[in-house]
Amino acid sequence: MIGYYIHHHGSGHLVRAQSIRAHLSAPVTALSTATVTGFDHVIRLAPDNRAESVTDPTAAGVLHWVPRGDDGLRDRMATIAEWIATARPDALVVDVSVEVALLARLHGVPVVAMALPGTRTDTAHQLVHRIAERILAAWPRELYEPPWLREHAHKTHYAGGISRFDGRVPTRAARADRPTVLVLGGAGGSTFTGAQVRACADRHRDYRWRTAGLDDWVDDPWSRLCAADVVVSHAGQGAVADIAAAAKPAIILPAPRPFDEQAATARALADAGLAVVVETWPELDEWPGLLARARELDTSRWRRWHTAGAAARAAAVIEEVTATTRFAA
């Protein structure tokens, strides 16, 4: 039995977990506050923010989120501990929570921790990376190797960008009278809006402007990706991997995230010549030049993001850990 903790912010953690789960042979139990499908069993966890006021959430800077006196935090940790005692998992994949990783390791369960981009040099991240049996990074090492992971190189595996669309054959869209710009939003929040896209569509009528995930959430945007001539997106790991799988010219606008997560990904993409990166939503008059630059990119470079087989490589690392751990019956 493998446990898989899935963070509830946005949809990227869940989609990545579902992609990896498809390549695991053992039964997998998902543990999350989010609504989860695609696993053998699901343990629904209480929210960890029930307290009326937040007191000492970092335990004096050692952890990330353990507010004192929060009933939800207590209940979710008790649920996980009870599940460990009953299910006796061979490993717990954690994407992402320092506190859940520590709880599992304190029960003797080996942890496979998902690394995230950015500057993860704080005490809590140092702790989780030290106690993890393996660390999985969902990007290519040759394009981005953060200094804080180098001391853990012996147990860090760079799987490449994990996309739910890996292996799908691109669909052929009917030839449009104008090039199509697809603007991708995210379930975790975007820094741009449908109104901004509509303003672009009104000003720049030489392009067809389409959206997915802004005012119009789309569960499966593959056909829209395939039909796009340029994709405009945030720098979330899932979105970047999906663009890479479709091999589309891209303009990337990193969203503000803790530890500069998306900014780090965007820098790696820019340095490798994979995408045009801008810090904020461009002024209306800047779009023609940016779109022209994006369409000049060599989209074959997206192969360097290593999306092909990435989820299977991640699953192989997890199964390597479970092969060495067995609790007594």
Residue 171 pLDDT > 90, yes or no?
no
**Given this model, what pLDDT does residue 219 score?**
85
Residue 170 lies in a domain: no
Report residue 130's pLDDT band, with 50, 70 and 90 as the boundaries: very high
Position 166 pLDDT exceeds 60: yes
With H, G, I as helix, E, B as strand and everything else as coil, classify residue 12. helix
Judge whether residue 308 has pLDDT over 90. yes
Q: Of 135-144, 176-185, 245-254, 276-285, which gets the smallest average pLDDT?
A: 176-185
Is 153 in the same domain as 194?
no
* 207 and 314 belong to one structural domain: no
Same domain flag for 115 and 22:
yes
Specify whether 56 is located in the same domain as 103: yes
User: Could you say which DSSP state residue 63 is in?
Assistant: S
So what's the pLDDT on residue 174? 66
Do 234 and 127 lie in a common domain? no
| 289 or 186, higher pLDDT | 289
Q: Which tens digit of pLDDT belongs to each residue from 77-128?
A: 999 999 999 999 999 999 999 999 999 999 999 999 999 999 999 999 999 9
Q: Is there a domain that residue 223 lies in? A: yes
* pLDDT-derived band at 275, boundaries 50, 70, 90: very high
Q: State residue 326's pLDDT score.
A: 64
Task: Provide the domain count of the chain.
Answer: 2
Cβ within 8 Å of residue 259, ≥6 positions away: 116, 118, 119, 120, 122, 125
- Same domain membership, residue 246 and residue 151: no
In a domain, 218, yes or no: yes
Its pTM stands at 0.95
How many whole angstroms separate alpha carbon 329 and alpha carbon 323? 16
Domain hosting 31: range is 2-162+309-322
Do 136 and 6 fall into the same domain? yes
Confidence of residue 329 (pLDDT cuts 50, 70, 90): low
Tell me the CATH number at 298.
Answer: 3.40.50.2000
Residue 169 lies in a domain: no
Looking at the DSSP assignment, which residues form a beta bridge with residue 44? Answer: 32
Question: In the prediction, which pLDDT does 216 show?
Answer: 80
Query: Given pLDDT bands bounded at 50, 70 and 90, which one contains residue 188?
Result: low
Residues 140 and 20 reside in one and the same domain: yes
Residues 220 and 145 in one domain: no
CA distance 181 to 163: 21
- CB-based burial label for 179 (10 Å; 0-12, 13-18, 19+): middle
State the residue for tokens 């029960």: 107
Q: Are residues 224 and 295 in the same domain?
A: yes
What does pLDDT average to over the chain?
Answer: 95
Eight-class DSSP state of 260:
G
Q: Give the pLDDT mean for 135-148.
A: 98
Q: Which residue has the tokens 């801008």?
A: 278
Per the domain annotation, does 174 fall within a domain?
A: no
Predicted confidence at residue 242, as pLDDT, reads 97
159 vs 179: CA distance, rounded Å: 33
